[in-house]
A = this chain, B = another copy of it.
Amino acid sequence: MSNRWIACDWGTSSLRVWAMDGAEVLDSAQSGRGMGTLTPGEFPEALAELLTPDWHGPVIACGMVGARQGWVEAPYASVPCSALPEGLTRAPGDRDVYIIPGVSQDSPADVMRGEETQVAGFLALNPGWDGILCLPGTHTKWVHVSAGEIVSFKTVMSGEVFALLTKQSVLRHSMKDDWDDETFAAAVADTLSRPERLISDLFALRAGDLLHNQPHARSRLSGLLIGAELAATRAYWLGQQVAVIGADALSRAYVAALGAQGAPATQAKGDAVTLAGLTAAWRRWKDPK
C-alpha cells in the first residue's frame, strides 16, 4: 500500500502543502491564498494549482480551512481532549481532502484551529512532555498540556494588536527599523509590573518621537504588548515548564521575555512541529486503532 499523501497547513493568510512519502518530505509549495482570501467555492482550485501530477494520495489539512467561513466546517473537539482529536471531516469535491478538528474551550470561551496540530506534533517529537506551550503569532495561544491532552488554553491577540498599531494607527509615523533588545526588555518589565499603564503608554511613543526624537519605538511597543500578555497569562507560565513554538525572531523575543521573569523556556520550530502533527494525523487515518 502506498505511503504517499499530501500535508496541508491552510491558515487565514497562507496555504502550504508538502508532498509526503510516510514521514519523508518529497516536495513542497505555497501560496498566499489563505482562507481569508477565498469564497467556499474557490478552495478546490486554490489547492489544485499548487499540486503537480506526481503528487499522490489523500490530503490531510489543518487550520482555518475548517472554519465556518472555510471549505467545510470541521467541528471543534472540546477540552480536555487529545491534541489530535478523533474524526476528520471530508471536504466536498472529487479529491480526498480530510480536515483536522479545531479545539474549543467552553469557559472562558476560546477556540483554536491549526495550533492543536502543532501541539500534537510537538508531543509526537517530545513524548510524555507536560507543561505550557506558547505559540506566538497573530493570535498567540498559551496551551496547558498534560498526559498528552490539552487541558486548557488562552488566546491573546497581541500580535494582531501590534500589527494594527504599527501599520494603521498614528504610531505608524514613529516606527523605524531600529530594534533594540534593552528597550524591549525594559518595556516588558514596565507592563508586567504596571499593566494598567499600557493603554496610556501607547501615545507616549508618538509624543516621545515628536518632541525628543526618541528612538526604538517599535521595540518598546513590542515589549509593552508582550509584557501585557505575560501579565495576563501569569497563571499559565509561572513555575511551569514552557516551550515556545513559532517563527524564529518572534519566538526568541518571547523566550527572552520569559527568561527575564525567571521562566526559562525552550524553543521549537513551527514548521517542524506542524509537519509532525500532520504526519501523526495521517498515520492514524491510514491505520486507525
Min CB gap A214→B, angstroms: 7
Complex Cα distance A208/B107, Å?
Answer: 9
Instruction: Tell whether, in the assembled complex, residue A198 and residue B198 are in contact, meaning their CB atoms are under 8 Å apart.
Output: yes
Within A155-171, which residues are at the interface with B (CB < 8 Å)?
Answer: 155-158, 160-161, 164-165, 168-170
Instruction: Decide if A202 is an interface residue (CB 8 Å cutoff).
Output: yes
**Other-chain contact of A199, B111, B228, B234 (Cβ < 8 Å):** B228
Instruction: Decide if A154 is an interface residue (CB 8 Å cutoff).
Output: yes
Complex Cα distance A285/B122, Å?
Answer: 71
Residues of chain B with a CB closer than 8 A to A116's CB? none
Instruction: Decide if A210 is an interface residue (CB 8 Å cutoff).
Output: yes
Instruction: Tell whether, in the assembled complex, residue B110 and residue A157 are in contact, meaning their CB atoms are under 8 Å apart.
Output: no
Residues of chain B with a CB closer than 8 A to A164's CB? 164-165, 168-169
Complex Cα distance A68/B211, Å?
Answer: 12
Instruction: Tell whether, in the assembled complex, residue B169 and residue A232 are in contact, meaning their CB atoms are under 8 Å apart.
Output: no
Complex: chain B residue closest to A224, CB-CB: B199
Instruction: Decide if A109 is an interface residue (CB 8 Å cutoff).
Output: yes
Residues of chain B with a CB closer than 8 A to A199's CB? 156-158, 161, 198, 225, 228-229, 231-232
Residues of chain B with a CB closer than 8 A to A111's CB? 206-207, 210-211
Residues of chain B with a CB closer than 8 A to A274's CB? none
Complex Cα distance A273/B110, Å?
Answer: 45
Instruction: Decide if A212 is an interface residue (CB 8 Å cutoff).
Output: yes
Within A219-250, which residues are at the interface with B (CB < 8 Å)?
Answer: 225, 228-229, 231-234
Given contacts A111-B210, A156-B199, A164-B165, 7 further A-B contacts (CB under 8 A): A109-B207, A157-B199, A157-B202, A157-B203, A161-B161, A196-B234, A199-B231
For the complex of A and B, the 8 pairs showing the least CB-CB separation, nearest first, are A195-B196, A200-B232, A109-B207, A196-B231, A155-B203, A109-B208, A199-B228, A164-B164
In the assembled complex, 25 residue pairs joining A and B whose CB atoms fall closer than 8 Å, in A order, are A108-B207, A109-B204, A109-B212, A110-B207, A111-B206, A111-B211, A139-B170, A154-B200, A155-B204, A156-B200, A157-B169, A157-B202, A158-B199, A160-B170, A161-B161, A161-B169, A164-B164, A195-B195, A196-B234, A197-B232, A198-B199, A198-B228, A198-B232, A199-B228, A200-B233
